[in-house]
A and B are shown apart, each in its own frame.
Chain A
């Protein structure tokens, strides 16, 4: 369905298929005939047959929809928005966050805080970073606004813990340096679109 059709709210012109339900009987005798007719057609028994069939298949062919969760897990979408992750630069292993504070600013539940300072290399250093997960609503704005693709949502949805603080500091979210090689890019909010290059005006450079 195209967007145009989707936006057309004029019900009458849309291609609905009407079910033939017959006429609703108006007299008592008519209704009695309807009951009798339906009873004799054993429609109800067909329903019983369906469920029985399902049971047989479940029991003997193992066709169930259930995922026995703690023992088996389905892969979740890479765009799922669970507990945040802080990415590192693949080349140097340095964390990507530049401390610009945009995530802090855009956060609608006001749960991100950061401390920054002037470091020895004349750069802005993030000395501490924290997300209050008691307030975070996992909207993904922080990931979307991040200019460096540094803060993203990860796939850690099992967040039961004795303390929320277990997830909320910079080092908790940062990719461990030894797992740098397995760090994956996040394709969700804020990721670079596949055709990003086409949408950028080139700036002349003299070197």
Chain B
């Protein structure tokens, strides 16, 4: 059954994605604090609301009511725009990401009755490319933020942004190239469908190296430990966010969490079977579970592993990961030719 995607459906999907991801990003902070706490033998937030759940609301209120502070000698315009770029690009990338299966509003709902909501807001045929491009554009957020604030830690943070993001773009792209070659499509829906045959058909088993490389690069792209050198507080105070506070700082935060979800979704869809049903578990739940796992993985790693140095980061990218990715692509190509 093929449904026509109306603009209302796309808008509803976008709205749902936006709200959901924002909410999840917020909730993510709570989860992160809890998980880190447990892994460090602490209870974590516990006083605001049951199990500290309303800590989220408290933080939100704090962020919203904090003084909006712009340093005297900063470039006010760019300083103000930079967080919007980060958050904006993170959400734009989500436009081509399938968050849950298609559905149609039941007809008894006024106005929206019968509207078809697609799994992807915009199933562009270059989905992966679009996502990668949008995330790459996200580089401008930290870069401009760091450079506009007239703060030496900000400048160092910005420099690290440029170096780190550009380097790991390459690894991300190359690691995804092999699965793309196998699926022969850039649409994520096609990826999903390619792996519809149960766990055995997951891309993970065909491209284990690509999966690992993608995950590593994904950590770097989202600025997570052990690659959070952009705002490494032990070295450069807070890097590109040194001078930010309140809501502007919150936007960076939301952007980072949105990117984490994007990476989680990508990893799920490209390598782990996407939103197809598995046994009795419905597809949307599978998707949720998989994304949650990757999210959890990021926190887990943060709790377990130390930072690496910038030079180690570069060494890893250009001398280890990139060659391995190239080798992987070449081998995949040879195997495909042999199979054909």
User: Which residues of A approach B to under 8 Å, CB–CB?
Assistant: 28, 32, 35, 44, 47-48, 50-52, 54-55, 57-59, 63-66, 68
Q: A121 to B212: give the CA distance in the assembly, Å.
A: 89
Tier of interface size on chain B: 10 to 19
Residues of A within 8 A of B38 (CB): 54-55, 58-59
Given contacts A51-B304, A52-B300, A55-B35, contact A65 B41 (CB under 8 A): yes
Determine if B124 is an interface residue (Cβ-Cβ < 8 Å): no
Nearest CB in chain A: distance from B82 CB, A: 34
Q: Given A35-B320, A55-B39, are A68 and B304 also a contact pair (CB < 8 Å)?
A: no
Q: Establish whether residues B42 and A54, one from each chain, have CB atoms under 8 Å apart when the complex forms.
A: no
Contacts of A35 in B (CB 8 A): 320
Contacts of B301 in A (CB 8 A): 48
In the complex with contacts A54-B40, A63-B41, A48-B304 CB distance below 8 A: yes
Residue contact B300 to A51, C-beta cutoff 8 Å? yes
Q: How far is the CB of B336 from chain A (nearest CB, A)?
A: 26
Q: Jot down 16 A-B pairs with beta carbons below 8 A, ordered by A.
A: A32-B319, A47-B305, A51-B39, A51-B303, A51-B304, A52-B300, A55-B35, A58-B37, A58-B39, A58-B41, A63-B41, A64-B43, A65-B41, A66-B42, A66-B43, A68-B43
Q: For the complex, is B61 an interface residue (Cβ under 8 Å from A)?
A: no
Question: What total of A-B pairs shows CB separation below 8 Å?
Answer: 45
CA separation between A64 and B42, bound complex, in Å?
A: 5
In the docked arrangement, what's the CA distance between A65 and B42, Å? 6
Any A CB within 8 A of the CB of B46: yes
Encode B296-312 as 1/0 by CB contact (under 8 A) with A.
Answer: 00001101110000000
> Are A68 and B46 in touch, CB under 8 angstroms?
yes
Given A51-B300, A52-B300, A55-B35, decide whether A44 and B305 contact each other with a Cβ distance below 8 A: yes
Given contacts A58-B41, A64-B42, A68-B43, 11 further A-B contacts (CB under 8 A): A28-B319, A47-B304, A48-B301, A48-B305, A52-B300, A55-B39, A58-B38, A63-B41, A64-B41, A66-B43, A68-B46
